[in-house]
Amino acid sequence: MSLAENGQTPQRPRPDGAHSGAMLPTRILLIDDHALFRAGLRMVLATGIPDVQVLEAASLEEAMRLPAEPIALVLLDVQLQGLNGLEGIALVHRKWPGVPVVVLSSQAEAPTVQQALARGATAFVSKADPPEHILSMVSKLLLGLPVATLAYGGMGAGSEGGVPPRLTPRQCEVLNLVSQGLSNKLIGRRLDLSENTVRGHVQALLAALQVSSRSEAGFVARRSGLVD
């Protein structure tokens, strides 16, 4: 099921071609070997697309073992363990013919983009792009709308020029622990800080990274190279 321009959710046909009053979820397959990145992007998609179901795979080999159920769109990372994303575009098309494949990569150099498009990718998105840009592109593709062929901006979170936001050493420490999924209490124990002080650092980080949740903060931090 895709987004509609008027904000309504249109009815999708059943896989057998019949029509039913029941709404089917939009299935998006995300293939990426970074669990934290998958969690962050899944949250972005779930927030912006009604009734979305995000299927996940850490490798192309794992994706190929999934049932051949209808998929609306595939998000495919370039750097994967085993077969890489560029080599796997053909496999994805073979398993899900006609399904748009959006290639994701932290390396948005022209040769990588050109290879992805030449091998059959519908679009290319840099992991350095803001979450809103990725969501916008996915939404347009689900609607069957055209997107820019070289759809990558190389923009980093928190700034217009691709420069990561400037954080204090303490904020960097807190961000690293937030990205590991630690609570404010555990972060406070680890850094010998009060829970209120940690909460203040976390709020400052969310503002600096221009995100609204801890999961998104981890997603943006890893994507921007602020944490390993």
Q: Evaluate if residue 163 carries a pLDDT over 80.
A: no
Residue among 226, 175, 173 at smallest CA distance from 203: 175
- Average pLDDT value for the chain: 79
pTM: 0.57
Q: Specify whether 206 is located in the same domain as 117.
A: no
- Residue 162, pLDDT score: 44
Query: What would the mean pLDDT of 74-79 be, rounded to a whole number?
Result: 93
Q: What's the CA gap between 45 and 132, in Å, rounded?
A: 10
Q: Evaluate if residue 228 carries a pLDDT over 90.
A: no
> Residues of the chain with pLDDT > 90: what percent?
33
- Residue 166, pLDDT score: 67
- Residue 153, pLDDT score: 39
Q: What's the CA gap between 105 and 113, in Å, rounded?
A: 9
The more confidently predicted of residues 85 and 160 is 85
- Residue 190, pLDDT score: 93
Whether 200 is in a domain gets the answer yes
Question: Model confidence over 112-156: pLDDT tens digits?
Answer: 787 888 888 888 888 877 888 889 889 988 888 766 544 443 433
Whether 203 is in a domain gets the answer yes
Structural domain including 55 reads 26-142
Residue 165 pLDDT class (50, 70, 90 cuts): low
> Residues of the chain with pLDDT > 70: what percent?
79
Q: Evaluate if residue 206 carries a pLDDT over 60.
A: yes
Q: What's the CA gap between 71 and 58, in Å, rounded?
A: 17
Question: Model confidence over 26-60: pLDDT tens digits?
Answer: 899 999 999 988 999 999 999 999 889 999 999 99
Q: Specify whether 120 is located in the same domain as 205.
A: no
Q: Residue 168: is it exposed, middle or buried by C-beta count within 10 angstroms (0-12/13-18/19+)?
A: exposed
112: domain CATH number? 3.40.50.2300
Q: Specify whether 136 is located in the same domain as 74.
A: yes
- Residue 43, pLDDT score: 92
The domain total for the chain is: 2
Rounded to the nearest 5 degrees, what angle is found at the Cα of 147, between the Cα atoms of 142 and 153? 115
Whether 4 is in a domain gets the answer no
Which of 90, 123, 142 finishes a domain? Answer: 142
Whether 12 is in a domain gets the answer no
Query: What would the mean pLDDT of 79-84 be, rounded to a whole number?
Result: 86
Q: Evaluate if residue 10 carries a pLDDT over 60.
A: no
Q: Evaluate if residue 4 carries a pLDDT over 70.
A: no
181: domain CATH number? 1.10.10.10
Which of 80, 107, 142 finishes a domain? Answer: 142
Q: Specify whether 58 is located in the same domain as 106.
A: yes
Euclidean distance between the first and the last CA atom of the chain, given in angstroms as a whole number: 35
Residue 174 pLDDT class (50, 70, 90 cuts): very high
Q: Specify whether 77 is located in the same domain as 125.
A: yes
